[in-house]
Every structure is written in structure tokens, then in C-alpha cells.
Amino acid sequence: MKILIVGDVVGRSGRDAVAKHLPALRETLDLDFVVVNGENAAHGFGITETICKDLYALGADVITTGNHVWDQREIMNYIGGDDRLLRPLNFPAGTPGKGAGVFETKDGRRVMVVHAMCRLFMDPLDDPFAGVDEALGNHRLGAGGGRGSVDAVLVDLHGEASSEKMAMAHFLDGRVSAVVGTHTHVPTADAQVLTGGTAYQTDLGMTGDYDSVIGMQKETATARFTTKLPQGRLEPAEGEATFCALYLETDDATGLAARAEPVRLGGRLAPAMPG
């Protein structure tokens, strides 16, 4: 199976990059499934129903989020009715929406997407390791080989600390197709397949303008550090975005990763495409 997981989309610049690159990538890479992290898609803060529908129309199959999921208040009434929009599963019981789901590709294969949030330097949510472990309890990888219930399992781990993300990857190695980090908005150079067959990248990076401070206009963001005085509202940078993602190929029988390579297109970062 051929899969693309897209890093945090930031503001209009990021949305424009998705519109420019994702439909073409679905065709040229012959993609079976696409996950997009959209937690910063609405002017840098949260996501809306309209943006969700736009991302689906552009080729996203599932949208993940993160700590900014509730920034646009309207999403609280919408998320419960959209099974393809996930919030981190380790929010307390009773939180609207869900953090995991099983979705079908056009040819009938089953892909499980699990979304969790780290705790180091983040909100004190429930244990993400226990939450992901529980979510996987009823679903075993390897449906193509007749040994499981799903053909692929993708984990979006939204967090600050690289150590916590790496620990999760090793905790799940051999049980899921991929563990990818989101949230820091900086792409890491460690895309790899672990010894047990799970693809991993500490952070996908953002799909946003890199002439910025993690996607926000650099003048206001820098002034907050240099003056320690109240500044204006952070606004998304609006230059050309770099589209950042991880391309993943899984083994049809086992569901484990056979290949994992970064994708970077447009904007300021050096381009990268699967060889």
C-alpha cells in the first residue's frame, strides 16, 4: 500500500500548498491513502468544518489535529459528526470526537489511524502509551496475509519532546506500520524503518511558510522573545509554503513498512521526493 502523511498545515499558505501539491501527488505516487494534520489550518489556530471539507476534496482521507484542535469553537459541535476528523485519543472521557478509527481505501483495504498527544512540555492529558495500546487491542496488523484485521496502522503522535516520540515508536515497533511525530513544525532528518518493521520520523515538519517562526510572522514572534512585553496577535506567515510529508510503502501481507522517505516541495526548504 502507498501512503502519504502530511505535516501540520499552517494557515492559508499551508492550505495553498496542499491544493497545489496533494492532488498531483495522489496521481504521480499512485497513493492509496492520505492523512493530513490540520490543527493549524484555520489562520494558524485550529480547523473549521469548511477547511475539513476542502482538505477532503483535495485528497485527504483522514485529518488529525493536536493541542490546537479546539481553537475554533465551532469544531466542538462538528467533530462528533465527522468520523474522519480525529482529536488526540488521550483527552479525558467525554471529550467530543474520537482519537482512532478504521477507514477503507477505494479498493476495500482497511487502514487504522491512531492519534495521540505527548505529555512532556504539553498539556497533562491521560497516558498516551496506555491509550494507544488500548486502541490497538481489537485490531491486529496483517489483514493482507490473513493474520490480522487491518492492512495498515498509522500513528500520529503530536508532541514536543523527541525522546517521548522515539520511545513510542520503539514501544509500537512491529505492531504498527508507522509512527510519525507532529507539532514542532520542523522536519527531522531521521525518516527510517525500525528493526521491527515500523516506519518512523520524529517530526514531519509543517506545511507552511518557513520564512517565519514555526509558521508565524517572524517580527511579532521574535519581539515576544526579545522584549518580554505584550505584543500583537501572532499571525501566520503568508509566503510560499513548503509541503512536508512522509511517503510510506507497506508490505501487502504483513502491513509493516517496506519504505519510508520524506517529501518536501516548494517554498524555502531543499526539495525531496521518493527516489
- Can you list the positions of beta strands (E) in the chain? 2-6, 33-37, 62-64, 100-104, 110-117, 152-158, 178-182, 192-193, 199-201, 243-250, 257-265
Residue whose cell numbers read 517496506:
258
Tell me the helices (H) and strands (E) count for the chain, helix number first.
6, 11
Rounded CA separation 206/114 (Å): 19
Cα dihedral 65, 69, 73, 76 in deg (nearest 10): 70
Which one is catalytic: 21, 68, 183, 185? 68
Cell of 47: 480547523
Rounded CA separation 217/247 (Å): 29
Rounded CA separation 180/201 (Å): 5
**Residue 185 is among the residues annotated as catalytic for this protein:** no
Residues 191/149, Cβ–Cβ less than 8 Å: no
Cell of 179: 509512527
First to last CA, the chain: 17
Residue 32: its H or E element: none
Q: Is 36 helix (H, G, I), strand (E, B) or coil?
A: strand
Largest CA distance in the chain: 61
Length of the chain measured in residues: 275
Task: Please identify every residue annotated as catalytic.
Answer: 68
